[in-house]
Amino acid sequence: MKGPVIGLDIGGSKLAAALIDPAGEIVAREQAVSPAGEGPEAMIVAVGALVNRLVATTSQWTRHPPVAVGVATAGVVDPREGVIRSAVDTIKGWAGVPLGRRLEGLTGLPVAVENDVNAMGLAETSRGAAHGARSALVVAVGTGIGGALMLDGQLWRGRTGSAGEIGHIPVDVGGGENALPCSCGRAGHLEAIAAGPGIAARYAALAGAGRACRLEEVARACSDGDEAAIGVVDHAGRVLGRALGGLSNVVDPEVIVLAGGVTELGRFFVDPLISALRAEALPGPAKVAVRVSKLGPDAGVVGAGIAALQVVPSSYRTTGSGS
């Protein structure tokens, strides 16, 4: 294959797109503000415009035009149909959108649609922190918490495509102060406690801030030695670590990769997480290698590009587009 592919990462705050060459290297980028609160039509128009903007610059990098588009997006995705089967309100009205078909109509290119954390899993096992591992659990901790389970180099999707939704594991079934509302509408889930918004909200309450806090403020407070911030982050890390210890007992992965913005809290979050994981897991799974993402914020677009390669027409694989 000679032509590049386009990888798209659709998020609640931004849209990222990258032109990816056949060797898997990013050669050009575009970015836009996400219209996540404006509904699916606004999102599709914005994404289509972003792709077409990147296509228009392709000739600066290669004489071969893009041959496919890959999309990484929040929600439970049916990759065969390119449809968002279910989604929380991070992107308004996203459930039920036939994203693949709509983008094919706007771009004239074949489109692959993949869950965003599954895309990270493809990227980290192909080119990142889990490269060479036969099995890996990739955990993304940001605005929400998601996971991707890679077994023998293949993404395990489960019966309904929901495999890896570890953020919705109940971790406070008895209620109490930690039974915070989750994005799915329930309470006491892992995501409500250990994802960025939960951490920031708990710190704001303890610090008496009287306003919403951002995760960056919590990180600065930890670095400044603020005991309340350190305690909140430590608690979140330990709750997630215990859950991952339990999952390690079930799956026994070779590698666990931690990704997402919350990992930028560094040792304040990662150290208690690893400690709790090893304490909870059985002796064998407790030895699992735990690594921080190698690809960082590029994991989504790179994984989307890998998904795009799977829908490239066979004619392109040998001759290249535009030959």
Domain CATH for 176? 3.30.420.40
Whether the CB-CB separation of 8 and 62 falls below 8 Å is answered with no
250 falls within a domain: yes
Q: Domain check: are 74 and 161 in the same one?
A: no
Instruction: Give residue 175's pLDDT.
Output: 59
In a domain, 111, yes or no: yes
Number of helices (H) and strands (E) in the chain: give both, helices first.
Answer: 10, 12
Q: What is the spatial distance between Cα 204 and Cα 217, in angstroms, rounded to a whole number?
A: 10
Q: Flag whether 124 is in a domain.
A: no
Query: Residue 322 has what pLDDT?
Result: 38
**For residue 99, is pLDDT > 50?**
yes
The region that residue 164 occupies, defined by phi over 0 for left and psi between -120 and 50 for alpha, beta otherwise, is left
C-alpha to C-alpha distance for 26 and 67, rounded to whole angstroms: 15
Rounded to the nearest 10°, the torsion over CA 61, 62, 65, 69 is -60
pLDDT over threshold 80, residue 308: yes
Question: Are 93 and 219 in a shared domain?
Answer: no
The pTM (predicted TM-score) of the whole model is 0.89
User: How much of the chain exceeds pLDDT 70, in percent?
Assistant: 94
Q: Is residue 179 part of a domain?
A: yes
Report which of residues 64 and 226 the model is more confident about. Answer: 226
166 and 285 in a single domain? The answer is: yes
For 9-46, the pLDDT digits (tens) are 998 889 999 999 888 889 999 999 999 999 999 999 99
19 part of a folded domain = yes
287 plus 314 within the same structural domain: no
Residues 191, 62 share a domain? no
84 and 109 inside one domain: yes
Please tell me the distance from the alpha carbon of residue 19 to that of residue 230, in angstroms, as a whole number: 40
147 shares its domain with 254 = yes
With respect to residue 220, please indicate whether it lies within any of the assigned structural domains: yes
Q: Which tokens belong to 110?
A: 């074949």
Does residue 123 form part of some domain?
A: no
Per-residue burial over 70-97, b if 16 or more Cβ lie within 10 Å, else e, is bbbbbbbbbbeebbbbbbbebbbbbbeb
Residue 238 confidence (pLDDT) above 80: yes
Q: Are 172 and 179 in contact (CB under 8 A)?
A: yes
Pairwise pLDDT comparison (229 vs 58), residue with the higher score: 229
What pLDDT is stored for residue 113 in this prediction?
A: 96
228/80 same-domain check: no
Residues 256 and 144 in one domain: yes
Q: Are 69 and 215 in the same domain?
A: no
Same domain, 209 and 278: yes
Domain limits for position 80 = 5-116+300-319
Encode 103-150 in three state secondary structure.
HHHHHCCCEEEEEHHHHHHHHHHHHCCCCCCCEEEEEEECCCEEEEEE
**Span 53-82, pLDDT tens digits:** 898 888 888 888 899 999 999 889 999 999
CA dist 26 and 245 (Å) reads: 35
Weakest-pLDDT range from 124-133, 203-212, 277-286? 203-212
The pLDDT value given to residue 173 = 60
220 vs 222: CA distance, rounded Å: 5
Average pLDDT over residues 83-88: 90
Query: How would residue 209 be classed by pLDDT, with cut points 50, 70 and 90?
Result: confident
Position 297 scores a pLDDT of 92
Dihedral of CA atoms 72, 78, 82, 86 in degrees, nearest 10, equals -80
Q: Is the pLDDT of residue 315 over 50?
A: no
- Mean pLDDT, range 170-182, rounded to an integer: 70
Instruction: Tell me the sheet residues that pair with 155.
Output: 150
Q: pLDDT band for position 1 (50/70/90)?
A: low
In this predicted structure, what is the pLDDT of residue 174?
62
**Average per-residue pLDDT in the chain?**
90
Q: Are residues 103 and 153 in the same domain?
A: no
pLDDT one-digit tens code per residue, 149-166: 999 889 999 988 889 999
pLDDT for the residue 121: 96
121 part of a folded domain: no
User: Is the pLDDT confidence value at 247 over 60?
Assistant: yes
Mean pLDDT of 192-202: 93
The pLDDT score that the predictor gives to residue 93 is: 94
- The larger pLDDT score, comparing residue 316 to residue 175, is at 175
Return the H-helix or E-strand segment holding 216.
Answer: helix 215-223
Domain count, the chain: 2
- How far apart CA 94 and CA 86 sit, in angstroms, is 8
How many Å from the N-terminal Cα to the C-terminal Cα in the chain?
Answer: 10
